[in-house]
Amino acid sequence: MTHFWQGLRSGEWLTAARMRGYSLMLLGLSVLVFAGWIAVSDGLIDRNGQPIGTDFSNVYAAGTLTWQGRAADAYSPPLQHAAEKAVFDGKDVPFYGWHYPPFFLAIAVLVAAVPYAFGLALWLVAGLAAYLAVIRAILPRSETLLVAAAFPAVFVNVGHGQNGFLTAALLGGALLCLNRRPVVAGVLIGLLAYKPQFGALIPIALLASGRWRSIGAAAITVAALVALSFATLGSGIWHAFHESMSFTQVVVLEQGGTGWQKIQSIFSAVRAWGLGVPLAYAAQGTLLAALAACIAWLWHSDAAFELKAAALALGSLLATPYVLDYDFVVLAVAIAFLARYGLRQGFRDFEISILAAAWIVPLLSRSIAEVTTIPLGLLVELAFFAVVLRRAVLDRAPVSLGAQGIAQA
């Protein structure tokens, strides 16, 4: 037991050879699983009666409605569901709601301009390419693409046909550009408004570090997106979006329509344990306040930028009550920034092991939560955030180079 604990502390167990081996095994197994999943499907419908790409069906249906001049119908659950069924020739597929701001319909229109299978392939391939490019830019090492491609959150995201790749690419790209190209960073942050729940801490970080050009560019980008949606879709689209928010909040979030095991927030954990909605909001609000204070302090400090970036990526996931396991693609941004810092400055106790835990947790979080109601993803994120803050406090102290597992690449 002592040897096991020492291994976790030092991280020496995670050699470069093991890291490559684990990645290759998981990547190969996942490809086989997806190939089998598609092979036994009935056209575009899998053996469980769900569309291939599941959640992508709401994007495609919303785009189809927009092509038909009925964009506002995407925010009406009955009409959106009818459109989803129409995509699959009237088959009774499950309902996947459209919860995005109107300007994201621009992406839906693009992917709906081609047949469903091609639109799904375009959606996933383009998103995956952007995600891999950003992670490789953060950590420009030979093994980065393999480890990033084999990251289990990638397969969760692909299976759901979701937008985790885009979220990670925008946030990671913004952080990469923040110092040298602040206006570009601001534009990318503005584009991230398509998922506004992940932006709660970004203004705090920008204000605390005085990133005024990025703040201005982000504000102008959001304003331009809103204006463009008004000009092309009319003011009624925003009314429809506003009306749909009640359904999203009550049915999807507060009642757990998505499934508590999929949502990895402290809000969801409190609800999964049978406690009430007010207590769940109180827990989420308390965590948000603590995260905001930590981010404000860290981004105002002279800590290394990699630590600030890792903390903001983690905080963006922790701050929202509605974060699903496919959103864990964003964890790759935090992993890459802390790994970059550790490879340059050396790793302290438990840092390598927490990086490994964050890498593998998307594979385990849903099944563990379903069986035990333990939100493993949330716990790993909190531990990761604490490790980053600890390193920010200690990074002026003499660095111990005892943990060399990953550095031996």
Model confidence over 200-229: pLDDT tens digits? 999 999 999 999 999 999 999 999 999 999
Q: Which of 363, 358, 365, 351 is nearest to 380 (CA)?
A: 358
Q: What is the structure's pLDDT at 400?
A: 42
User: Is the distance from CB of 241 to CB of 209 less than 8 angstroms?
Assistant: no
* Range 29-36 contact pairs with CB under 8 angstroms and sequence separation of 24 or more: 30/150, 30/152, 30/155, 33/155, 34/155, 34/158, 34/159
pLDDT at 5: 75
3-state secondary structure at position 324: strand
Which backbone phi and psi does 403 adopt, to 5 degrees? Answer: -95, 100
Cα–Cα separations (whole angstroms), residue 347 to 4, 59, 170, 206: 18, 42, 27, 27
Q: Of 212, 386, 392, 398, nearest to 301 (Cα)?
A: 392
pLDDT, position 1 = 65
HSE on the CB side for 224, CA within 13 Å?
A: 11
| pLDDT score of 119 | 97
- Residues in the chain predicted with pLDDT less than 50, given as ranges, are 399-409
pLDDT of residue 308: 98
Q: How far is CA 309 from CA 5, 206, 314, in A?
A: 29, 11, 9
How far, CA to CA in Å, does 371 sit from each of 120, 182, 276, 325, 377? Answer: 31, 45, 21, 16, 14
CA distance 126 to 270: 36
Place of tokens 């983690």: 314
The pLDDT score that the predictor gives to residue 43 is: 86
Model pLDDT for residues 42-53, shown as the tens digit of each residue: 889 998 899 999
**What is the C-alpha to C-alpha distance for residues 193 and 190, in angstroms, rounded to an integer?**
5
- Contact partners, residue 135, CB within 8 Å, separation at least 6: 144, 145, 148, 168, 172, 332, 333, 336
Q: Name the phi and psi angles at 213, rounded to 5.
A: -65, -40
Reading the block at residue 154, the tokens are 């990638």
User: How far apart are the C-alpha atoms of 236 and 329, rounded to whole Å?
Assistant: 34
**Domain locations along the chain:** 19-396
The greatest distance separating any two alpha carbons of the chain, rounded to the nearest whole angstrom, comes to 66
In this predicted structure, what is the pLDDT of residue 235? Answer: 87
Residue of 192, 179, 183, 242 whose CA lies nearest to 222: 192
pLDDT at position 315 is 98
